[in-house]
Amino acid sequence: MSVTINRSLGIQRNKLLRYKLIKELYQKSIQDHPYTPTTKILEYYIAPVYPISRTTLYEILCTPVTTELREIEEAIEKQKQIKAAQTRLFD
């Protein structure tokens, strides 16, 4: 059971870290080219590095990455504490 939970937390964490990189690339592109539409930013700057759709980009931009990352990190730490407590039971 905990292996499945750890795996899903890891997958979610990696997805959020990727979202964070995409958001940073988007913000940098917007700063360099402030009047460029989002679709062109996606086409010229983001899609060559991260091949995603426009819908996915909008989903990423609306995701509160830092908040969700903090929650995932807390859940991972909790899982580590549970595992350490279970290990001590059998010493």
Rounded to two decimals, what is the model's pTM?
Answer: 0.84
pLDDT digits (tens, 9 = 90+) for 34-64: 999 999 999 999 999 999 999 999 999 999 9
**Residue 85 confidence class, pLDDT cut points 50, 70, 90:** confident
Residue from 35, 81, 26 nearest 59 by CA: 26
Q: Which amino acid is at 56?
A: T
What pLDDT is stored for residue 30 in this prediction?
96
| Percentage with pLDDT > 70 across the chain | 92
The answer to whether 61 and 23 have CB atoms below 8 angstroms apart is yes
